[in-house]
Structure 1
Amino acid sequence: MVYADIVLWAVFGPVALVALAFSVRAVIGWMGITRDAHEDFDYRTQHGMIPADVDRGAFVETYRRINGPRTSTYAALALWSVLLATPIIAKILEVALDLLWQASGQSRVFEPGYLVWAFFIFFGLFGAWAAIAYVFARRYHAHTPGRLEDELKSL
């Protein structure tokens, strides 16, 4: 059991550190973006670079949506989702495989701990991780904003 705990930390430890790094990067990025938006609004207003019908609130909201650290935010959320979902997915796979083993009349082919069992767990986890990555990548690309000028024209 000690070996399994070491392997668990050897895998999840680095993933948690990367998720933490992305989280810190996202928080730092989001902290300064509102200030930057107000400064950019003032500059663009002074130089006549903003349509007259765009107010400060709409500009700041649009600026944050376009220039915010989306990549770091989505990467952090995806990695934390993987870390939190893995034990749940592993338990679901274990229960499903146990039901399969029981349904097969406790066949030695599906016996817990053997090769077929290990392959189901291995590929089930990787499939679930790929599905989580797919969901976040699809959402990331589906909600990608356009250029600031184009977004301001559409307000």
Structure 2
Amino acid sequence: MILFISLILVFLVWGTIIFFQYRTVEKDAHDIFKARRNEDKDIQKLGEDIFVEIYKRVHNPRGHLLNFGGAVASLICLPALFVVASWIWNSIWNASGQIADLDEGFAPWLFGITILCVFGIVAIAAVTARLHHHNRPKSLEQEIQIQLKGMSN
């Protein structure tokens, strides 16, 4: 029970941090525009609205949201991963001609199931990492240059 309460608290704190990061991005964008507009000619050419859009696209907590979603998906999928891992482990064990599953003790079975569940969690993490890195925007300066090239054409 303590594990479930602590997991819920971790996810609540993590979600709250992401929420407040998301809420502060636009304010930060306006502040950075005001601080840099006199020094940087490219930012002056863009104007405040376009700069804020670019800044929000580059600095939004999308990666944090994907990590959070991957962690929640891993937690939700854990029972299904356990069932699939048990089926795979038992099928391989029985097909190998070994003695019954638990005759050698609980440790080999638990080790195999744990490793297979970890493989499932790593697969979910790989999917979320792929989503993040495939769609991640470039740096702020590169995005500004891309926008300026689009405006000049």
TM over 0.5: yes
Instruction: Point out where structure 1 has 5 or more consecutive residues left out of the alignment.
Output: 1-5
Instruction: For residue 62 of structure 1, give the secondary structure of its aligned residue in structure 2.
Output: helix
Residue 99 of structure 2 is matched in structure 1 by 108
TM-score (norm 1): 0.68
Q: What is the aligned counterpart of 1:61 among 42, 53, 64?
A: 53
Deviations 1:130-155 (CA, angstroms, capped at 9, x unpaired): 22233333444444443322210111
SS of the residue corresponding to residue 146 of structure 1 reads coil
Q: Secondary structure at the match of 2:138?
A: coil
Letter in 1 for 2:118: F
* CA deviation string 1:10-36 (max 9, x = no partner): 3x5444433332211111111121233
The answer on 1:137 being equivalent to 2:134 is no
Using the size of structure 2 for normalisation, the TM-score is: 0.69
- Matched residue of 1:26: which SS? helix
8 Å CA contact 1:94, 1:121 repeated in 2: yes
Runs of 4+ in 1 over 6 A off after TM superposition: none
Counterpart for residue 3 of structure 1:
none
Query: Considering only aligned residues, what root-mean-square deviation do their CA atoms show, in Å?
Result: 3.2
Q: Structure 2: any 5+ residue segments left out of the alignment? A: 148-153
Q: How many residues matched?
A: 144
Which residue in 2 is equivalent to 1:34? 26
Alpha-carbon distance between aligned partners in 2 of 1:130 and 1:15, rounded to the nearest angstrom: 19
Does structure 1 retain, via aligned residues, the 8 Å contact 2:30–2:48? yes
Higher helix share: 2
**Matching residue's letter, 1:94:** S
